[in-house]
Structure 1
Amino acid sequence: MKHIAARPWLATGLLWCIAAAIAAFNLGPLIGGAGVRAVFSLPSAGDSQAVLLHYSVLPRLAMSCVGGFALGLSGMLFQHVLRNPLASPSTLGVEAGAQLALGIAMLWFPALLGWSRDTATAFGGFAAMAVVFAVAWRFKFQPIAVILTGLVMGLYCTAIVTLLTLMNDHYLSGLFVWGGGSLNQNDWRSVAGLLPKVVGFTVLALLLVRQLSVLTLGEAAKGLGIKLQFVRAAALFVAVALTTFTVSAVGVIGFLGLAAPAIARAIGARRINTRLIVAPLIGAALLIIVDQIMQIYTAKTGSYVPTGAATALIGVPVLLFVMLKRGGSLQTAIHSGSSPAASSRPLILIATLAGLVLAVAMVAIFVGRGVDGSWISSTGATLKSLLPWRLPRLVAATSAGIMLALAGSLLQRLTGNAMASPEVLGVSAGTAFGLLCILFVVSEPTITHRLIGGFLGAGTVLAILFAMSRAAHSGNQFLMFGVSLGAFLTALISVVLASGDPRALSLISWMAGSTYGVSSAMSLIISALAIVGIITVMLLVRPLQQFALGDLSAHSHGVDVKKLQILILAVAALLTAMATLIVGPLSFVGLMAPHLAQRLGLTRGLPHLMGSALCGALLMATADFIGRTAYFPWQLPTGLVATLLGGPVFALLLIRGRRLSKLH
């Protein structure tokens, strides 16, 4: 028993030895050149090595320790209070909310930053947490509801930050560097400001250790005189405060708050008083290791990699490991409300949707902004001169919306999970990564090369997801695997983009989802592919309906389930790849369009698929028109506008309690 109790401490000590060894390897030559005295005393202005060591290198090392400790403790508190091994500052949207609040303060309330930057980030973190809890409350804080809402909240806040940055690049140019998690220090002021706060909130957490230890008893804890609501509120307050203060100092350090508590449990830290110390120590050691390795990499290659993105590369595999080991806690589906009744007149609804798409298309073609910014209707020669600019991007946007909607419908029917979509499952991120690989492999990639790369990336992600989901035997884990894999690929892309390689930088404008540069030839190709996609999906309607009744029923009707799954995956991957090449990896159309069609009463077979396609076209056509006119004469990326339109729709769907059941 003593050996088991000592195991977490021994493992933590070993991890710290590794951190110390890497730090000594990296900093040893500098300390040797500047002298040990430079570590403890103020250096002379003429000694450049001593100045660098004392005012930059050592404060960065200290910030790694303090920041990692705070995030480790914060993640441990989130997971313990919510009784959810996937809860963390990253997965609950707290860090993204803090980043959004900082961006808003930089634009409209700069005086607040001069007074207290911590106040702005704390407000954003608490606001994001409040939104997540408001939605999750309806589902009694079921793990899948809390995590999915938090992840989407994070993506939505990130989309708003991206949009604000595009509109105000002179003011927010440094926000993405900060958002990537930068531990660079110029003096000891940031460390001196953060350390007392971390110490103070750590003391508060330790004072709650008795109450936290009986919190796992649930309602039975009330018999012991414990006020559950007060304890949960106090612990969550400490966790959010630790996160926001750390984010204010160093930016977003992704997934560290998830990885540290998971590792603490894996090495045997079972009791709450042990985890309260071990998890923060592991977080500090992990951040030191990652940051020192990144410094060595930068020194060898000259390429800068944000520490936050690098920690995501470690944190996401830990997330996948936790889900595989703790699958039982994630198998609760969201059940609330009732499925909408099927419409008795689906053809009328489909015709109405088609009419709306046509109406929006007419508005997008004829209506615009004049030189002075006023709204005008273009006709005659003016329209003829504008048509080559407006029509191709409109056709491309609507075609992409159709393809994403069809891909989302196929994935939802295949998985039996109404929250599955190309964006949420990481298929769009896989497309982006495949395209990035093509940019590095092919010197002058054509549209065919890009399409092949995107298809291979999307198909690989789907293949990995199905392999992992079969191993885990959990439908909801399929969803979480996709989100995690998408975050992992996004972190990889961020690392490559941070390298400054011109080939990677050409990907940035595309990732925002702009249709500004679509040519007439490209729009014709995309529209033809969308038509082919519609015909292909129509041919799959009958086997899809039989597949929804179960494997045995499908086999009895002569359906080869395995071949059908592979075919559906291939079609969904190809549709996603083609659409993502036009509107970027973030739009949420693949998630929302099938739900909107269902809400209208188009719930079965071909009417649902056609309704989903028309809803997708309507969303993207609207987003393209808004992106072209809302901030005239500048263009807003269609993909980002679609995300901003889709976030509230997604929240509404969750609040109204969509049932995670198979579509028929």
Structure 2
Amino acid sequence: MTTRTASIFFAAATALAVLLFLQQALSFLSFAAWPSLPLAPDGMSTEQIILAYGVFPRAAVAILAGAALGLAGALLQRLLRNPIADPSTLGVSAGAQLAIVATTLFYPAVLDGYRALVALAGAGGATALVFLLGWRRSFDPVTMVVSGLLVGITCGALSAAMTLSQGEYLMSLVTWNGGALGQQDWSVASTLSLELLAGLAASILLLRPLALFGLGDSGAKSLGVGIVGIRVAVAVIAVGLAAGVAASVGLVSFVGLAAPALVRGLGVRKPHAIILLSPVAGGLLLWLCDGLVQFLGSSTSETFPTGAMTALIGGPLLLWLLPRVKPVELHEERAHVAGARAPRRWLVLLLAFLPAIALVVLFLARTPAGFTLLSTQDFGDLLPMRWPRLLASAAAGSLLAIAGTILQRLTGNPMASPEVLGVSGGAGVGFAAAITIVPAAGVAELFAGAGIGSMIVMIIVVAFASRRQLSPERLLLAGIAVSSLTSAILSALLAIGDQRSWQILSWLGGSSNTATPASSTVLAVLALVSTGIVLFFTRWLTILPLGSAVPVALGVPVRSARTTMIFVAGLATGAASLLVGPLSFVGLMGPHIAHRAGFTKPAHQLLASSAIGALLMIIADLGARTATFPYELPLGLFAALAGAPYLVWLIAVRR
């Protein structure tokens, strides 16, 4: 974006925001009838009260919240020298969300007067974990954002599990999580204004050391800058601003990412100017988005939380900023494996171990007295109910592991998976499209929608990476960008609150309760067929990661091979996601565990990953139905609670 184009865009956005505000305000009262200061409700009409204590405070909150997030994003980007850092990508907002959701459900009295402190504690904990992971790799931009994604997903999974367990809070928490800006008085605006002024004052005091951060750590140290102290101070300011917004209005995504990008697009290059102008851009951006949301609501009778709509800009913006990310040059230590090839007998033992574990799980039950093994009579009575969900869980885990193996081989990236690259999110959008287009959608329609959605997302990510010759690390960021866009679409649909929202929310949690003998058999057959297809083309999975020239020289039809692999991975992800939702991480853990165990050849890794994925999901199904007995947790969320911390550990041990 050129400076001239950015200036025109900024002016047009300002004019449009003002026009939308005036349209909303004038729909209640003509300008001549607007209330005058001081605002005394005793002498006002109903329309004047709505205007003075609803419309005006909402606009003020939008501007102040956007300004706070814009400042937080600018501070984090300058601190980390990372153009894609903001409270959303670093897990700050998700940590605040988790703390508020947990407190709302279990200690609601604490929120009375201490809401901001609760949000600050959650945001601070999540940020500390992300910074700790990034510190081990010199705050590499890719590592920071991937760590933020995983911490955010873990917090989101916990929040969703808690929300689903408390039906009476369900839709109110879902709406709040989307970032609702509706107001009834000026209290929130007053709080946000004080927080913003404090953040601006502290930021102005840190402008000089932040400017010196552009020289690198060594250069800044040589000029007397205390690196650790400044990092802590800036992080505290940014986290405090983001937590204050989360406590006041819920989650508002990617404004902190977009505001500094818009300022730089206007041609501003001096660090202090970017930091001081980003609150202006952030306030304008959120005010504009809120005006568009209200205009759409009055035109279509559908209401969406503004925060869910701002998230729609995150995916495209991340893709646009991706080429500007400069990873820190680090030397990776390869994980040592037992040998170039794992003995076949270990593979046979693994495949034989799977049915034995499945049999134990079928016999295992939990009663008020604890765990017990079923008698033969009880086993026979419960078997018709248990075997479909167990088979479906195993098949779904196998399908996700197959898809993960394909993605890791195809991209040459050991961190690739259907969940991380947004393929599962695409399945969710396809699922939502199916229930929208076909209100009484059956298994066939849902399967087709999820499969098509996952394939479209995978094609987008791979095509974007191929066109720009992205490294494996940047490919992860491209997947995160697309995943953010799909999550925003689902969040917007969730906020509507109709029957479709309940179906999507149920799918997000994932449950094997819906498995029938027919559906579980179809999933199992699909897992076997997918395994057979990929085994037939293992030569492609060996050659395709070698670049673009080598496969052509060896006679591999590159385009057909990629298309076939994408089709299989998309189909497998779509089918599995119908059962377990988008957040299991089995698609990453299965192939990675298999590789670390020594199954390095494509055929061996595929079979081992398939078995490990099935085993992980069988264990997850057992945990989902017994961990909180007599209540049952969502299958996909339970798997995610184990999967995301595993990935965080994986980043922590990589040097």
SS class of match (1:30): coil
CA-based RMSD: 2.2
Within a 5 Å distance, the mapping from 1:449-468 to structure 2 comes to 449-468=445-464
Name the counterpart of 1:60.
Answer: 58
Q: Which moved more, 1:344-353 or 1:184-193?
A: 344-353
Question: Shift of residue 330 of structure 1?
Answer: 4.7
- State the match for 1:272 in structure 2: 271
Indicate if the aligned counterparts of 1:59 and 1:187 stay in contact, CA closer than 8 A.
yes
Q: Can you list the C-alpha shifts for 1:251-302, whole angstroms capped at 9, x where unaligned?
A: 1101111111111111111111211222110100011111111112222222
- 2:598 matches 1:570: no
Hey, what's the Cα distance between the residues in 1 that align with 2:124 and 2:305? 25
Pick aligned residue for 1:513 from 510, 513, 518: 510
Counterpart for residue 298 of structure 1: 297
Which stretch shows the higher mean deviation, 65-74 or 630-639?
630-639
Note the alpha carbon deviations across 1:358-401, whole angstroms, 9 max, x for none.
Answer: 3431232111123x463332233322221111110010011000
Match of 1:609 in 2: 606
Aligned equivalent of 2:157, options 147, 156, 159: 159
Match of 2:617 in 1: 620
Paired with 1:530 and 1:265, the residues of 2 have a C-alpha distance of 49
Task: For residues 585-634 of structure 1, give each alpha carbon's deviation from its aligned partner in whole angstroms, at most 9, with x where no partner exists.
Answer: 11111111111111212122211111111111111001001111112222
Task: Map Cα deviations across residues 68-103 of structure 1 (whole Å, 9 max, x no partner).
Answer: 000000000011110001100000000000111112
Out of 588-597 and 66-75, give the one that drifted further. Answer: 588-597
CA contact (8 A) 2:427 2:449 kept: yes
TM-score (norm 1): 0.94
Shift of 1:355: 4.4
Give the SS at the match of 2:355: helix
Tell me what 2:492 maps to. 495
CA distance in 2, matches of 1:5, 1:526: 53
What is the aligned partner in structure 2 of residue 543 from structure 1? 540
Q: What percentage of residue pairs aligned between the two structures are identical? A: 36
Q: CA deviation at 1:46?
A: 6.5
Structure 2 residue corresponding to 1:441, chosen from 433, 437, 440: 437
CA distance in 1, matches of 2:43, 2:519: 60
Q: For residues 588 and 349 of structure 1, do their structure 2 counterparts lie closer, same or farther at Cα, with a shift above 3 Å needed?
A: same
2-side partners of 1:645 and 1:563: how far apart? Answer: 36
* Residue 600 of structure 2 is aligned to residue 600 of structure 1: no
Q: Does 1:281 align with 2:277?
A: no
Say whether the 8 Å CA contact 1:45–1:51 is kept in structure 2: no
Change (3 A) 1:65 1:81: same
Which residue of the partner structure matches residue 419 of structure 1? 415
Superposed CA deviations along residues 411-434 of structure 1, whole A, max 9, x for unmatched, are 111111111111111111111111
Partner of residue 98 from structure 1, selected from 79, 96, 99 = 96
Matches of 2:569 and 2:3 in 1, distance apart? Answer: 50
Give the whole-Å Cα distance in 1 for the aligned partners of 2:330 and 2:487: 27
Match of 1:24 in 2: 22
In 1, Cα distance between equivalents of 2:349 and 2:497 = 48
Select 1:146's aligned residue among 113, 126, 144.
144
The CA deviation at 1:28 is 2.1
1:216-231 to structure 2, matched below 5 A, reads 216-218=214-216, 219-231=218-230
Stretches of 4+ aligned residues off by more than 4 angstroms: 4-14, 330-334
Q: Is the 8 A contact 2:451 2:570 kept in 1?
A: yes
2:640 to 633, 639, 643: 643
Tell me, in whole angstroms, the C-alpha distance in 1 between the residues paired with 2:49 and 2:610. 62
Mapped to 2, the partners of 1:5 and 1:523 lie a distance apart of 57
How far, CA to CA, are the matches of 1:457 and 1:447 in structure 2?
15
Corresponding residue of 2:577: 580
Q: CA shift at 1:133, angstroms?
A: 1.4
Q: Secondary structure at the match of 1:375?
A: strand
Contact residue 4 and residue 266 of structure 2 kept, 8 A: no
1:161 CA displacement: 0.5
Q: Deviations over 1:170-227 (max 9, x none)?
A: 3565322221101111111121122112101111001111111111011112222222
List aligned pairs for 1:292-331, cutoff 5 A.
292-324=291-323, 326=324, 329-330=326-327
> Equivalent residues in 2 for 1:314-353 (5 A)?
314-324=313-323, 326=324, 329-330=326-327, 335-342=332-339, 345-353=342-350
Q: Which residue of 2 aligns with 1:191?
A: 189
Distance (whole Å) between structure 1 residues aligned to residue 484 and residue 170 of structure 2: 23
Is 1:304–1:498's contact at 8 Å kept on the other side of the alignment? yes
Distance in 1 separating the partners of 2:391 and 2:61: 50
Query: What does residue 378 of structure 2 align with?
Result: 382
Q: How does 1:249-268 map to 2 (within 5 A)?
A: 249-268=248-267
Retained in 2: the 8 A contact 1:8–1:269? no
1:237 alignment counterpart: 236
8 Å CA contact 1:305–1:499 kept in 2: the answer is yes
Following the alignment from structure 1 to structure 2, what is the Cα–Cα distance between the partners of residues 445 and 129? 41
Q: Distance in 2 between matches of 1:488 and 1:299?
A: 24
The number of residue pairs the alignment matches comes to 652
Q: Which secondary structure state, in structure 1, belongs to the residue aligned with residue 209 of structure 2?
A: helix
Q: Give the match for residue 391 of structure 1.
A: 387
Runs of 5+ consecutive residues of structure 1 not aligned to the other structure: 659-664
Q: Aligned pair in 2 of structure 1 residues 345, 596: CA closer, same or farther (>3 Å)?
A: closer
* Greater CA drift, 449-458 or 437-446: 437-446
2:630 counterpart SS class: coil
User: SS in structure 2 opposite 1:444?
Assistant: coil
State the 1:337 CA deviation. 4.5
5 Å matches for 1:403-414? 403-414=399-410
**Aligned residue in 2 for 1:661:** none
Output the amino acid matched with 1:360: I
Distance in 1 (CA, whole Å) between partners of 2:524 and 2:169 is: 38
Structure 1: how far apart are the matches of 2:312 and 2:8? 25
1:147-188 CA-to-partner distances (Å, cap 9, x unmatched) read: 001011111100000111122333565322221101111111
Change (3 A) 1:439 1:14: closer
Equivalent residues of 2:390, 2:621 under 8 A apart: yes
Question: Which residue pairs with 1:125 in the alignment?
Answer: 123
Letter in 2 for 1:342: G
The Cα of 1:490 is off from its aligned counterpart by 1.5
Quick one: distance in 2 between partners of 1:96 and 1:500? 22
